[in-house]
Amino acid sequence: MTLNLCVLTPNRIVWDSEVKEIILSTNSGQIGILPNHAPIATAVDIGILRIRLKDQWLTMALMGGFARIGNNEITVLVNDAEKGSDIDTQEAQQTLEIAEANLKKAEGKRQIIEANLALRRARTRVEAVNAIS
Amino acid sequence: MSCSNLTMWVPSKPSLSDTSAISSRSFICPFHLPNSSSSTPSRSPTSTQIQCSLRDLRDRIDSVKNTQKITEAMKLVAAAKVRRAQEAVVNARPFSETLVGVLYNINEQLLTEDIDIPLTKVRPVKKVALVVVTGDRGLCGGFNNAIIKKAEARIRELKGLGLDYTVISVGKKGNSYFGRRPYIPVDKFLEGSNLPTAKEAQAIADDVFSLFVSEEVDKVELLYTKFVSLVKSNPVIHTLLPLSPKGEICDINGICVDAAEDEFFRLTTKEGKLTVERDVVRTETSDFSPILQFEQDPVQILDALLPLYLNSQILRSLQESLASELAARMSAMSNATDNAKELKKNLSRVYNRKRQAKITGEILEIVAGADALV
C-alpha cells in the first residue's frame, strides 16, 4: 500500500506525491502516520512536518491548519508551508530574533497576540532548517 | 465632421507665421484660446477661431500617435495580467474546494453541539472595522473611485447608526486617499502587489483577527470589487467576521451565499474578441468517510479551520479585486486607444486639407505673378 501526501496552501500545491511515513505536529502533540492509518481529522499546529521518502527525512514548516487522513490519502490544508531546504538559515534566525524582541516590547492584548503568533512562526522556520542535520 | 467637434483637440496656439488669405478662408483651424473665450460665447465658431501652423498640427498628430501607442500597450499588458490573475484563482481552487468540503462535514457533526468559538462569536456591535481593497495604480476608469465611494457611503451609514468605525486600507490608491483625510481613523495601511499571495492575505487576516479577538472591534466588513465580467464589476460589502460556522458568506443585509458554490472566471477568445466565461462549480460535499475520527474536539478543529477559511476568503477577494482592476484598465485603455485613433484621423484630415490649401495658394501666387509679367 502506498501513502499519498498532499499539502495545499491557498495559492498552490506544495507537495503532492507518495511518501513512506510522516510525522505531523497536531494540536494535541506529534503523531506519526504510516500507510493504512485509520481515518482521522485533526487540527495542525504551527510546527514542523517531517516526511520520510525511503531513507531520507525531509522537513517542512507548516503555519497552522488542518489535516485529513483516510484511505491512504493525507490532505494537509495550511495557511503557508515552506520546505526546510528552501528556507534561508540566516534570514530565519534574524526573523526569530526580531520576533523575540517584538514580544518583549508588546503592550496590550492585541499586540501580544500578534507578537506571539509571529514568534511561533519564526521559531518553526528555524526548527525546520536545523532539523535537517 | 463639423468644425466645432475639433475645438478641444487642436493646440490653442495662434499661428505665428501666416499663410495666404485663401488658406485662411478655406482652412479653418477651429479652436478657442482657453482664456479668450471668457467674454465671447465659447461655442460660436466665428468668434474665436485661431489658426495654427502646419508644424503645430504635425506635432499634435505625433503626440496623439504616441499616446495611442502607450494606451494600446497598457491595454495589452492588462489583458495578459488578467490571464495571470485567473491562473492564480485556478491554483487556489484545490485548497478552497477541500476546505469547503471539510468545513461542511465538520459543521454537520457540530450541529447538535453547543459551540463557542471566538471567530464566530456575535457580539453587540459597537465598533466596526472596514477593510477597503483598492488598486495600486490609476488609469483604470472608475475602479478605485467606485470602491472608495462605497466605503464613504458605508462610513456615513455607520455614523448615522451611531457606531464607531476604523478603516484598514489595502492598496496604494486607498492609502493615499485615506492618508489625505486625517478625520477618518485608519488602523493600518497595507500595500497590495502585482499578484495577491497568501502572505498578503495572511497580513490582513492577522490584523483583522487580532482586532476582533481582542474585542477592539465587534464586526469586520470587507469592501472589495466583485468581478462580474470584463466590462462589469461591482463594489460589494461582505461581513468577514464574525464568521458564520456554516461556511457561508453573508452580506451586510444578512443574505447568505453558500461558500460551496464557487465561481471562477475564464478569459477566452470568441470571434477574435476577448470574452469572459464564468463558471459556477458546486463543490461535492457528500463524499466523506463516515468512520472518520476526530483527533481533537470538533470545536478545536473548527477553531483551526476557520482562520484558514478567513484567509482564503480574503485571498479570494484580493484576487477578484485585482481581476476587476485589470479588466477596468483594459476597457479604459481600449476606449482611450479608440479615441486616439479617431482624433488622429481628424487631425490628419485637417492637416492634409491645410497643406493642400497652402500649395494651392502658392500656385495661385506664382500664376498671378507670371500673369503680371506678361
A84 confidence band (pLDDT: 50, 70, 90): confident
The shortest CB-CB distance from B88 to any of A11, A42, A66 is to: A11
**Residues A32 and A54 both lie in one domain:** yes
The pLDDT of residue B152 is 92
Q: What was the pLDDT predicted at B112?
A: 63
Same domain, A80 and A108: no
Q: According to the model, what pLDDT value does residue A91 have?
A: 87
Radius of gyration of chain B (CA): 30
How far apart CA B241 and CA B260 sit, in angstroms, is 18
Confidence of residue B264 (pLDDT cuts 50, 70, 90): very low
Given A53, A68, A84, which residue is the final one in a domain?
A84
- State the count of interchain CB pairs (< 8 A) between A and B: 110
Mean per-residue pLDDT for A39-63? 88
> Any idea which of A33-42, A118-127, B99-108 has the lowest mean pLDDT?
B99-108
Task: Clarify whether residues A63 and A113 are in a common domain.
Answer: no
On whether any CB of chain A is under 8 Å from the CB of B300, the answer is yes
Burial of residue B5 (CB within 10 Å: 0-12, 13-18, 19+) is exposed
Place of cell 465538520: B106
Q: Which residue has the cell 491595454?
A: B75
More confident residue, A21 or B21: A21
Question: What is the overall mean pLDDT for chain A?
Answer: 86
The cell for B46 is 466665428
Please give the C-alpha separations between residue B357 and each of B10, B25, B51, B58, B351, in angstroms, as whole numbers: 18, 9, 13, 16, 10
The arithmetic mean of pLDDT across residues A66-71, rounded, is 85
- For A9, the domain range is 3-84
Q: Grade residue B362 by pLDDT with cuts at 50, 70 and 90.
A: very high
Instruction: Decide which of B200 and B286 is more confident.
Output: B200
Q: What mean pLDDT is reported for chain B?
A: 75
Residues A32 and A69 in one domain: yes
- Cβ count near B182 (within 10 Å): 8
Nearest beta carbon to residue A77 from set B201, B216, B308: B308
Apex B204 CA angle, B199 and B206, nearest 5: 90
Could you identify the residue written with the cell 489583458? B79
Could you count the other beta carbons within 10 Å of the beta carbon of residue B334?
20
Q: Return d(Cα A30, Cα B194) in angstroms, integer.
A: 38
Where residue B215 falls (left for φ over 0; alpha for ψ -120 to 50; beta otherwise) is left
* Segments making up each domain of chain B, as ranges: 1-52, 73-332
CATH of the domain at A51: 2.60.15.10
A63 lies in the same domain as A26: yes
* Max mean pLDDT range (A94-108, B41-55, B296-310): A94-108
- Evaluate if residue B37 carries a pLDDT over 80: no
User: Are B308 and A38 a contacting pair at CB < 8 A?
Assistant: no
ipTM of the predicted structure? 0.74
On whether the CB atoms of residues B256 and B248 are closer than 8 A, the answer is: yes
Say if residue A68 is in the same domain as residue A10.
Answer: yes
Same domain, A17 and A77: yes
Question: Quick check: B62 and B347 in contact, CB under 8 A?
Answer: no
Contact list, A4 vs chain B (CB under 8 Å)? none
The shortest C-alpha distance from B196 to chain A (Å) reads 9
Considering only alpha carbons, which residue of chain A is nearest residue B211?
A110
Q: B235 - beta bridge partners? A: B225
Q: Are B150 and B235 in contact (CB under 8 A)?
A: yes
Contact A74, A33 (CB under 8 A): yes
Rg over CA atoms, chain A: 16
C-alpha span between B204 and A114 (Å, rounded) = 12
**B312 vs B149, residue with greater confidence:** B149
Task: Look at residue B33 in the predicted model and tell me its pLDDT.
Answer: 39
Residues A10 and A72 occupy one common structural domain: yes
The predicted-structure confidence for B98-130, as pLDDT tens digits, reads as follows: 787 777 777 666 666 666 677 777 788 888 899
On the question of pLDDT at B246 being above 70, the answer is no
The number of folded domains in chain A is: 2
Active site residues of B: 140
* Smallest CA–CA distance from A7 into chain B, residue: B95
Query: What is the DSSP secondary-structure string of A16-37?
Result: EEEESEEEEEETTEEEEE-TTP
Q: Is the pLDDT of residue B28 over 50?
A: no
Q: Positive or negative, the Cα torsion across A107, A116, B114, B304?
A: positive
Contact of B166 with B126, CB cutoff 8 Å = no
Dihedral over Cα of B161, B165, B168, B174: its sign: positive
Backbone angles phi, psi at B77, to 5 degrees: -60, -45
Q: Is the pLDDT of residue B370 over 90?
A: yes
Residue A39 is given by DSSP the state P
**Residues A20 and A77 grouped into a single domain:** yes
Give the pLDDT mean for A93-114. Answer: 86
Residue B63 to chain A, least CA–CA distance (Å) = 43
Statement: residue B250 has pLDDT above 90: no
Kindly state whether residues A16 and A75 are assigned to the same domain. Answer: yes
CATH topology (fold) of B73-332: Pyruvate Kinase; Chain: A, domain 1 (3.40.1380)
> What is the model's pLDDT at position B23?
39
Rounded Cα distance, B143 and B121, in Å:
34
Please write the tens of the pLDDT for every residue from B318-332.
888 888 898 899 999
Task: Provide the pLDDT for residue B336.
Answer: 94
Question: How many Å separate Cα B1 from the centre of its chain?
Answer: 34
Residue A70 has pLDDT above 90, yes or no: no
Average pLDDT in the B222-251 region?
A: 73
Chain-chain contact of B95 with A8 (C-beta, under 8 angstroms): yes
Do residues A103 and A58 both lie within one domain? no
pLDDT, position B110:
67
Q: Please judge whether B94 and A13 are an interchain contact, meaning their C-beta atoms are less than 8 angstroms apart.
A: yes
DSSP one-letter string for B119-139? GG-----SEEEEEEE--S---
What confidence score (pLDDT) does residue B252 get?
A: 44
Please indicate whether residue B178 or residue B254 has the higher confidence score (pLDDT): B178
Same domain, A9 and A43: yes
> Is residue A57 pLDDT above 60, yes or no?
yes
Which of the residue ranges A86-95, B25-34, B243-252, B272-281 would you say has the lowest mean pLDDT?
A: B25-34
* Span A115-125, average pLDDT: 87
Q: What does each C-alpha distance from B7 to A123, B13, B40, B41, B325 come to in angstroms? A: 67, 12, 15, 13, 33
What residues in A contact B311, CB-CB < 8 Å? 10, 79
